Amino acid sequence: MSQHGKEKQWESNIHTNFNNEMTYGDYLQLDTILSSQRRLSGHHDELLFIIIHQASELWMKLILHELEAAISSIEEGDLEPAFKKLARVSRVQEQLIQSWSVLSTLTPSEYMQFRDKLGHSSGFQSWQNRLIEFTLGHKKEQVLAVYEHQPELYRRLEKALHRPSLYDVSIQALANRGLPVDPSCLDRDWSQDYQADKSVEAAWLAVYRDVKKYWDLYELAEKLVDVEDKQQQWRYNHMKTVERIIGYKQGTGGSSGVTYLKRVLDHRFFPELWNLRTQL
């Protein structure tokens, strides 16, 4: 292309003087973000490992932002805004699922070149992932011990442990619409992992059998199923990636690694929404 042709492509209104104005990099604080990948080894592939996990934590931050807003909408009885937020959560989860396929390009031999530099640090300690699980209703008080050295973070997790989850407020929405739900499901110890209840299953069945009457609750249920489905895909891909890279070695954080991740796959966040499919 001639120099004249290149000049024609340049638009005259493009701003070039940023001496006293904010740039794209300033707004996104790219200097901070892009200087945060500090390899502890000289190995080429450690950068991949760091970026995958840092990017995942950013996506998790957005998931928590959307889940908290969705819970507030449901608590207020305004379900429709929650649908958009939960749909966004599902799309973000797809990004997290895809990230495992990128990490799986790391071979066992490559990972062993820098794994010892991690010490006892582990994804098991991801407090945002733990908050997501708490927010979805998977509560385990024992895990708080991992965060005792960070009092402010410990208190935040403890607070999340003792407040109603996304599913708890959804069950309350069923009751608010006059569907019979056992009172023990509406006023319980929120720090305990949710257990399936026959009255809740019957309430959801009523919703699915009369979609026209309960369209908003039906839509809420399907959005919850989307979120759990993606979360389970993320868990599965996590397990398979770990198996591919380290086999059945113990995790750096002390867990049983793949064995622990396989066991987690058996957990259901919203059990009645899966059980009712057999009943319909």
- Residue 211 contacts by C-beta under 8 Å, 6 or more apart in sequence? 218
Residue positions forming the annotated binding site for heme: 238
Residue positions forming the annotated binding site for substrate: 49-53, 111, 115, 252
Token duo for residue 65: 């932002």
CB 174 within 8 A of CB 205: no
DSSP state at residue 263? H
Amino acid (1-letter code) at residue 225 = V
Residue positions forming the annotated binding site: 49-53, 111, 115, 238, 252
Token duo for residue 110: 């490559």
Please count the CA atoms within 13 angstroms of the CA of 273 that sit on its side-chain side: 20
Residues 127 and 207: their CA atoms lie apart, in Å, by 35
